[in-house]
Structure 1
Amino acid sequence: MKQKQEEKYQALLQAAMDIITEKGFEKASVAEIVKKAGVAHGTYYLYFTSKNSIVPAIAEYIFEQQLEDLKEKTDDANDIWTQLKTLIDSTFNITRTYKELIIFCYSGMAFYHSFEKWEEIYFPYYRWLETKLNQAKEKKQIDPNLRTENVVRMIIGVTEQTAENMIFSNPDIDSHTIKAFKEDLFKFIKKALV
């Protein structure tokens, strides 16, 4: 997208996330979103076909934030264990930061039958981790017989499930408990990989 178009898209996306977090999806309106974004009403429909079509865009934004965070924090990490610890930390942080929006995205994607969009959104994340695992195989850090394309989905799935169970179910969970879960999760994944 051209810079001006990208700015409008990002403004609409951020406005939608703010309003949905504050009011919920059902009470959020396109009129409120465009007003908060500072764009004309018709501009919304240049980027989204309906109010519902913003759901995958929000999910994609969250995953882009996580992948950007992971890449930034693992640039200098040469071993898979540091990278996996970073992945776990990042997943817990993103889950806590975007808790309401993640819950909304799950329900929205399920309701509007957008599961194929999930795979498209996850694809860069899967590829990033698969690359890291393949590098670890070459360095003999993990079992060379693992099918990394399958293991990637398992690692991401168990990590997200653990983070979501802890954060969604326990709003007052203390940092000590979260730290213990992250440590156990890391040990579980490491044991599966060697």
Structure 2
Amino acid sequence: MTKSDQEKYIRLLNAAKKKIAEKGLVKTTVSDIVKEAGVAQGTFYLYFPSKNAVVSAIATEHLENLFFTIKRKSASSHSFLSLLHIIVEETFSATDYASDVLVLCYSGFAIGNAFEEWETIYEPYYEWFEQELNIAKKRNEVRQDLNTRQTVRMIINLIENTAERLYLSHEKDISAELMKIELLSFLKHAICTLK
């Protein structure tokens, strides 16, 4: 994509987030999005085959930003526990910051019945985390009997679900800090070799 194309794509994405947040996915039209972005209607279809395709692009952008931050911050981590801590911290932070975007994505995927697409978006994250878990197995930091493929999905889903329960449902019976401590303790006892 050229710089100009990238700028239009970002304008469309930001306009879609804004208009869908204001009006909801069903009531937002492509015309609303292009008007907000300041581009012609045909330009929208150069980047997205449908309005629902924007939801996938928004979800991809959110996850890529989270994944990039986790990888950058974990580059110098020397243990699986420190990696888990970074993943929990960054997932909670991203969920708090982008709670409106996540609600939009979930509703869009539910309307479009496209949860399989959500899993496809997550695949690079799963693959990276599976490699990290395999390294931890070789270092005897985690249980040797773990099915790494399934375990990474369970860990990521547990962390995200816990953060979403806090920030999307506004559950306030426990603070975010206490919830993160409990979550990390649970994960440590479930998968790590205790020394």
Give the alignment's TM-score, normalised by structure 1: 0.92
Identical columns (%) = 41
What is the number of residues matched between the two proteins? 192
* Residue aligning to 1:120: 120
Is the Cα–Cα contact under 8 Å of residues 20 and 101 in structure 1 kept in the other structure?
Answer: no
Query: Any residues of structure 2 matched to 1:133-152 within 5 Å, and which?
Result: 133-152=133-152
CA distance in 2, matches of 1:138, 1:106: 36
2:110 paired residue number? 110
Contact 1:126 1:153 in 2 (8 A): yes
Aligned position for 2:87: 87
Give the superposed CA RMSD: 1.7
Partner of 1:190: 188
Task: Report SS of the residue matched to 2:76.
Answer: coil
Q: Which runs of 5+ in 1 are unaligned?
A: none
TM-score normalised by the chain length of structure 2: 0.91
> 1:24-35 counterparts in 2 under 5 A?
24-35=24-35
Q: CA deviation at 1:7?
A: 2.2
Q: Deviations over 1:153-185 (max 9, x none)?
A: 1001111111111112227x49x7110000000
Taking the aligned partners of 1:144 and 1:42, their CA distance within structure 2 comes to: 54
What's 2:58 paired with? 58
Contact kept in structure 2, 1:34 and 1:44, CA below 8 Å: yes
Tell me the secondary structure at the aligned position of residue 120 of structure 1: helix
Cα distance in structure 2, aligned partners of 1:88 and 1:21: 26
Partner of 1:153: 153
Measure the CA separation in 2 of the matches of 1:12 and 1:55: 12
**CA-CA distance at 1:23 after TM superposition:** 3.3
Runs of 4+ in 1 over 4 A off after TM superposition: none
